[in-house]
Structure 1
Amino acid sequence: MTFFEQQHQARQETRKLVLLFALAVIAIVVAVNLAMALLWIFKFGSHHGALRQYPKGFFEVNTLVTLLLIGGGTLIQTFNLRDGGDAVALMAGGRIVSPASGDLQERRLLNVVEEMALASGIACPKVYLLEHEDAINAFAAGYNQNEAVVAVTRGTLNRLTRDELQGVVGHEFSHILNGDMRLNIHLIGVLFGIQMIAGFGQQLMNVGRYWGGRDDKGPPWQLVLFLAGLVLFVVGYIGIFFGRLIKSAVSRQREFLADASAVQFTRNPEGIGGALRKIGGLTDGKKIGSQINHPNAEQLSHLFLGSVRPNLLDGWFATHPPLAERLKRIYGRSMSPLEAPELAVPYAASVERLPDLPFAVAGLAGAAVASAAVSPAGGLPTPSLEFGNSSGKAALTSQLNGAVHDPFAARAVVYALLLGEGAEREAQLALLKNETPQQAALTTFLAESIVQLPLSARLPLVDLATPALRQLAQPERDKMLALVDQLIAADSRITLAEFVLQTILARRLAPRSGRLVPVKFNKLSELDSDIAVLLSLVAHVAVPASHADAVGARLAAFLRGARVCPELNLAAQHYCDGAGLGFPRVRLALDHANQLAPLAKPQLVKALLAVADDGAALQITSADILRAICAGIEAPIPPAVAATYHAYPWQFDS
């Protein structure tokens, strides 16, 4: 099942979520009205000898208050989670792991996450650590792949080998790439809302316990309020019941898929398999297994790799499949649990090359580009990031490797990628010196290392720098993006490389980059002019001006892509020449395409790839523009594009 099919399935699961939510609300409203009616009888029926008539609007008020509590709770929690993955990680008690961390275990985790991000062609996610959790568990969260976070427990770092940690991270990357995260955040808000009644009941119990009001009619109000709170607290557990039902309905099969994806990503069933076996060993031994002790654990339980609480309700109501069943699907046979002691050496000293990470399930092809080399001191391994193939490889210098992990220096990496030549360079450096002289000096220094890299390494460098850049406060991000615009405008024109970099940075760092983008267009035919612009743009990039018949070849490339989308009825007259491909028009086309329904996007990506594919090897310039468009519409890059970054035979600058 492809990435887009998974997103479509997630939308269908959302409809199921809406139905179950409606049933839960109806059940709670009925239960609250019944409880309030019985309390009314308890308070007034015995005193009058007969049931006093219910006040006018009695049941309507009960219903309205109940709906306000549920709806208000859902809206408040959804608003609290507007920042996506970061908000969820903080809600779980996580702390961000600095990209420049020197802790051996944290460095290992960051290296593994970077490898997965480079292999998949997406921005490297932020990494959070649940410091006080000794169990083995992890989750991924966010509204889209551009602002995803990956969080793991301290027990995961202490108890898993590198291969097992890689399997766990691969499992979480499946959730990132398969569209699970958005649904999971919606689920958090919904569950909070339907459990608000229990919280309101608890408050009423507290009022009843300490309130001193009295009257001479029937039982004292103190007792009535306490009983009302107790009843509502019990009724509120209808929300927990439905919460379990909803989570089991939408999450269990996706855990099977994520397990299978982790095996395909790493080509090593012992990775995720070993981690799950160790969870089983901890469950049988110390009874901690994958248990999370944070107060919000139950509310977030559907996000995690393993069950956060013992399954009191098995079968339909369990949030995760049984470990034995998950292991049997991974290995093809029953497997026994493993002991999970804390590792004496947190980082295994190995110089063997890591296995390839094909990302087959996500529709991505590409190899891992990192290998671990142990430092002379025998401690912290330093990743050697390689790009290209046997005809040319380049490793990141220690300066660049350090720069991409530091927020201040990561900005200089971005600026260095934009430096031109001659008068343009002098104008750009003058702008940087106005910012800070140190930034200009660092940019110039890093540019010397960047120029030694093949072109296929430049955008992956931005992927590595993204977590550090996201550590900047939003005003600092805005300031950086504004300076990027000024650097690009220094020569009064925008090149392909500048457009690509600007597009990717805006999608990842702009104020609303992590927010939910609603679907406004269900079919490609609703965006025919916008798609014509994007196809024309790729045609202009794929066919250089030096081509003997550039105009004819570009038109032929455009029509090649148009044939992939026959429902658009695009013809030669819809082709846009250079004058029709201004930056504002292309930006508008990208914004509209990002609002397409998930199942409409794969056809668009396929058409764009057809424009660039003339039967020869995909050029890096074509790969770059396709990568930028995919980032703009929040879609994974296709296999041919990923392969270009890992295996293109570039000649190295001398």
Structure 2
Amino acid sequence: MNFFAEQDHARRNSKWLILLFVIAVIILIGLSNILIAACLWMFDSTSELNLPDNRSFFSADILVFVSLVMTSVIICAIAFKWFQLKDGGRRIAESLGGQRIPPNSQHPEQQQILNVVEEMALASGMPVPSVYLLKDEIGINAFAAGHTPADAVIGITQGALEQLNREQLQGVVAHEFSHILNGDMRLNVRLIALLSGIVFIANLGEFILHTQRYSHRSSSRSNNNDARVAAAGFGLLALGWIGLFFANMIKAAISRQREYLADASAVQFTRNPNGIADALKIIGGYDAGSGLRTPLSQETSHMFIGDARRLGSFFATHPAIKSRIKRILPRWDGALIKRDIKKVAKPIYSKTSQQQAKKQRQEQLKKTVFVAAAAEAAINALDNKSDKAEFTLSENTVTVSGELAHLPDGLLSLAHDPCGVISVVYALLLSNYEAQRAKQLDDIKDNLSKSSRIEETLQAWNWINSVDKSYRLPLLELSFPALKCMSAKQYQRFMDNLRSLIKADQQVDMYEWCLYHLVKHYLSHQFEKVTHSKPVYSSIPALSEPFSVVLSSLAYFGHDNDTETQRAFGIGANSIGLYTITLLPLEQCQVEHFGPAVKKLANAYPQIKQRILRALVACVCLDKQLTVLENEMIRCIAAVMDCPGPQISLGVRRP
């Protein structure tokens, strides 16, 4: 699956969305003018108004005025909705009634979905997103929401946790990860914002009718204006219904094919068609189906894996369940899996059961990373048949995610604890020199007892120091859900401490830059005002300068002698078609040059980003060995560019 091509396709769909939206608005403005003319005619039917004889209910002044008012109302409604959604996936999940599942949850069902999300994140080359549970929803459904992978969340209903087994949950979560990687997630958020402007007209009509009804009941007499106001309210309500018609039609036109694509991607991720197919069979045979009770299910219906609202086939945002299953399993016999609604709440788990669940979770996490490694290998094997073969140059694969199973259980538990995870990140920055390490620890400021924080950080450092450096980045990626549980004040103190730890030796090396910017990129959207990267550069030559800086940096940091450095740079430059650029001097490839260059590359179009990442991978793959720092730099570059990290199948050379 070429996710970059699909992101470009999603971007083109955004243009179609805007075009369809403009057409719908023009039609609504025309109908609004007809409505206003009808209202003026009704007002003119009484003697209370003395309009001139040469009046025209369709005059240019009225037409312009009504058009401006309608356009302003729609724009204001869109702006308000966009402001509500500016916090990304977290805000959408909470508005639907979702509650964040703690990363260290002891509930077996919640542990299972957390583990499944972790394995899919590792397999797809992106950090682990937070998981939100819609605990009051008995329908089987799930969604992915956010503007970028950095603020993405996965949401799932209680019904899905109760009715689906691990294999089926893998299929559902893989389906949602496809929406993240294909660019559908951002398109879905734009759909919510744009269509809210159209639907707002219906809400305005309902408000007028409600106000008029209340005014009529509270008044001892009525007058002719009541009928006119009611007529205006009904007119706006009718316009809103027409707007809702267009909104449903636009959602259906854009989202149906994306659902087929996400189903196919789920099969590719898991290498198991039965997972997603059986989940769809259960939805089809389940009494509650995939329906949701939340009032916002109407405007967010296109985001879910199944139909959140039961609409006619013409307006359905998803293809028919049977049609989707048939595409996954062409020889399917048509039988659905029947399930009953679990109406009785499950009993509280005993202390013994909780202890067993904790042990099972630690064992399951180890299994998780092996499944992720298998998924990576399967995807790479499939990619060998496509145009991305340079990502898998060797079968001697050492996947860091697979090696995570060898991390100490205490370190993994600490990485999932919302309080202890801070110590893990601090430990990743501690120096190997005792005097320098003591100075770093002394600079840490924390609300927790300082001695307790230092002790916990040193324990984490000892665990990390006992294993290979290649575990650092995957450990950090597993830590993000717990880090997102911080408050704004804790986040500010945490980032201040990170800067103090990094600057303790009065210099910033490439590893420290990568770690800091990964943390900032995946956490800042929740606590700061963030400006997302936008596609600006559509050609490679326009990015030759920042690309030269990044490529030169990779060539220097990944190769030992001048000849190999020059060859690596040349291979990367030639593979992207920049034959005239030259290797920059080492002093122009330091962190202060590297950072701004990467951020500029983030403003390229998706297909350009793909070519850039391929060229960078070609550079580091020259010697068919991957250093830990090269891997960290590539993953950090991909993260800042809002791209999945490329899975490079090479032997890892320890520095």
- The aligned residue for residue 3 of structure 2 is 3
Quick check: 120-129 or 499-508, which moved more? 499-508
CA contact (8 A) 1:121 1:460 kept: no
Q: Shift in Å at residue 5 of structure 1?
A: 0.7
Inter-partner Cα distance in structure 1 for 2:167 and 2:606: 33
1:102 aligns with 2:106: yes
Work out whether residues 630 and 636 of structure 1, in 8 Å CA contact, stay in contact via their aligned partners in 2: yes
Deviation track 1:494-527 (CA, whole Å, cap 9, x = no partner) reads 2332222122112112355865322222222212
Tell me how far 1:619 sits from its aligned partner. Answer: 2.5
Per the alignment, in what secondary structure is the counterpart of residue 626 of structure 2?
coil
Give yes or no for contact 2:628–2:653 (8 Å, CA) kept in 1: no
Measure how far apart 1:553 and its partner are: 2.3
Structure 2 Cα separation of the partners of residues 650 and 341 of structure 1: 54
Structure 1 residue corresponding to 2:597, chosen from 589, 595, 602: 589
Q: Indicate the residue corresponding to 1:607 in structure 2.
A: 615
Secondary structure of 1:152 counterpart: strand
**Is 1:36 matched with 2:36?**
yes
Q: Is the 8 A contact 1:520 1:596 kept in 2?
A: yes
Asked whether the equivalents of residues 572 and 619 of structure 2 are also in contact (C-alpha less than 8 Å), the reply is yes
* CA displacement at 1:84 relative to structure 2: 0.7
Q: Which residue of 2 aligns with 1:220?
A: 224
Q: Find 1:442's aligned residue among 456, 465, 473.
A: 456
Give yes or no for contact 1:146–1:514 (8 Å, CA) kept in 2. Answer: no
1:141 touches 1:149 (CA, 8 Å); kept in 2? yes
Q: Of 445, 468, 484, which aligns to 1:470?
A: 484
Kindly provide the amino acid, as one letter, of the partner of residue 556 in structure 1: R
Give the match for residue 353 of structure 2: none
Cα drift, residue 478 of structure 1: 2.9
Identical amino acids, percent of aligned pairs: 33
The one-letter amino acid paired with 2:541 is S
Q: Partner amino acid for 1:5?
A: A
C-alpha distance in 2 between matches for 1:398 and 1:624:
24
SS at match of 2:500: helix
- Compared with structure 1, are the counterparts of its residues 219 and 59 closer, same or farther at alpha carbon in structure 2 (3 Å cutoff)? farther
| Corresponding position: 1:209 with 2:213 | yes
* C-alpha contact (below 8 Å) 1:388/1:649 kept by paired residues: no
Contact 2:282 2:339 in 1 (8 A): yes
1:186 shift after superposition: 0.6
Q: Which runs of 5+ in 1 are unaligned?
A: 367-385, 545-549
Give yes or no for the alignment of 1:576 onto 2:584. Answer: yes
CA offsets 1:332-356 (integer angstroms, 9 cap, x no match): 1333110124689999999887482
Contact kept? 2:404, 2:471, Cα under 8 Å = no
Deviation readout 1:223-249 (Å, 9 max, x if unpaired):
110111011101111211111111112
The one-letter code of the counterpart of 1:603 is R
Contact in 1 for aligned 2:7/2:181 (Cα 8 Å): no
Contact 1:252 1:320 survives alignment (8 Å): yes
TM-score with structure 1 setting the length: 0.87
**Alpha-carbon distance in structure 1 between the residues aligned to 2:204 and 2:104:** 44
* Residues in 1 aligned to 2:405 and 2:479: alpha-carbon distance in whole angstroms: 18
SS in structure 2 of the partner of residue 93 of structure 1: coil
My pick for the range that moved more, 357-366 or 594-603, is 357-366
Distance 2:270 2:439 in 1: 46
| Aligned: 1:432 with 2:444 | yes
8 Å contact kept, 1:44–1:51: no
Q: 1:93 to 1:393 in 2, by over 3 A?
A: closer
Distance 2:74 2:3 in 1: 33
Unpaired runs of 5+ residues, structure 2, are 350-356, 393-398
Give, in angstroms, the shift of residue 387 of structure 1: 4.6
**Counterpart in the other structure of 2:289:** 289
> Deviation string for 1:48-67 (max 9, x for gaps)?
89996257733332222211
| Closer, same or farther: CA 397–271 of 1 in aligned 2, 3 Å | same
SS of the aligned residue for 1:128 comes to: strand
The 3 A distance-change label for structure 1 pair 13 and 512 is farther
Q: Distance in 2 between matches of 1:45 and 1:433?
A: 76
The 5-angstrom pairing of residues 395-414 of structure 1 reads: 395-414=406-425
Does the C-alpha gap of structure 1 residues 514 and 50 become closer, same or farther in structure 2, counting only changes over 3 Å? closer
Change beyond 3 A, Cα 1:342–1:428? farther
Task: Give the alignment's TM-score, normalised by structure 2.
Answer: 0.87
Matching residue of 1:628: 636
Per-residue CA shift, 1:83-126, capped at 9, x if unaligned? 11011111211111111111111111111111111222211001
1:323 to 302, 321, 324: 321
Q: How far apart are 1:433 and its partner, in Å?
A: 6.2
Deviation at 1:324, TM superposition (A): 0.8
> Once the 2 structures are TM-superposed, how far is the Cα of residue 490 of structure 1 from its aligned partner?
1.2
The partner residue of 1:173 within 163, 172, 177 is: 177
Q: Which residue of 2 aligns with 1:493?
A: 507
Tell whether the 8 Å contact from 1:198 to 1:232 is kept in structure 2 after alignment: yes
Q: Does 1:454 align with 2:468?
A: yes
| Contact 1:507-1:513 within 8 A present in 2 as well | no
State the shift of 1:3 in Å: 1.4
The alignment status of 1:484 with 2:498, answered yes or no, reads yes
Structure 1 residue 561: deviation in Å? 0.8
The answer on whether the counterparts of 2:204 and 2:236 sit within 8 Å (CA) in structure 1 is yes
Please, what is the CA RMSD of the aligned residues?
2.9
Distance in 2 (alpha carbons) for counterparts of 1:475 and 1:579: 38
**Aligned equivalent of 2:79:** 75
3-state secondary structure, aligned to 1:491: coil
Cα displacement string for residues 539-572 of structure 1 (whole angstroms, at most 9, x for unaligned residues): 011113xxxxx22321221111111122x44333
Q: Give the match for residue 518 of structure 1.
A: 534
Do the aligned partners of 1:82 and 1:515 also contact (CA within 8 Å) in 2? no
CA drift at 1:212: 5.9
- 8 Å CA contact 1:394–1:454 kept in 2: the answer is no
Alpha-carbon offset, residue 127 of structure 1: 0.3
1:45·1:51 contact (CA, 8 Å) conserved in 2?
no
Q: Does 1:619 align with 2:627?
A: yes
Tell me, yes or no, if the aligned pair for 1:387 and 1:454 is still in contact at 8 Å. no
Displacement of 1:213: 12
**Secondary structure at the counterpart of residue 446 of structure 1:** helix
Give the distance between the partners of 2:338 and 2:424, measured in 1 at CA.
44
Secondary structure, aligned partner of 1:40 = helix
Aligned to 1:18: 18
Residue 119 of structure 2 aligns with which residue?
115
Tell me, in whole angstroms, the C-alpha distance in 1 between the residues paired with 2:7 and 2:240. Answer: 32
More off after superposition, 272-281 vs 552-561: 552-561
Shift of 1:331: 0.6
Measured in 2, the distance between the counterparts of 1:51 and 1:292 equals 54
SS of the equivalent of 2:419 reads: helix
Are the aligned partners of 1:532 and 1:570 in contact in 2 as well (CA < 8 Å)?
no
Contact 2:301–2:317 (CA<8 Å) still a contact in 1?
yes
**5 Å matches for 1:54-69?**
54=56, 57-69=61-73
Q: 1:433 to 1:117 in 2, by over 3 A?
A: same
Q: 1:557 aligns with which of 568, 579, 600?
A: 568
Q: 1:86 maps to which residue?
A: 90
CA contact (8 A) 2:256 2:317 kept: yes
**Letter matched to residue 82 of structure 1:** K
| Alpha-carbon distance, 1:489 to partner | 1.4
Deviation at 1:396, TM superposition (A): 2.7
Q: Is the 8 A contact 1:387 1:395 kept in 2?
A: no
Q: Residue 628 of structure 2 contacts residue 654 of structure 2 at CA under 8 Å; is this kept in 1? A: no
Contact 1:143–1:515 (CA under 8 A) maintained in structure 2: no
Q: Secondary structure at the match of 1:195?
A: helix
Q: 1:447 to 1:559 in 2, by over 3 A?
A: same
Per-residue deviation, 1:432 = 2.2
Cα distance in 1 for residues equivalent to 2:341 and 2:585: 63
Aligned-pair CA distance for 1:417? 0.8
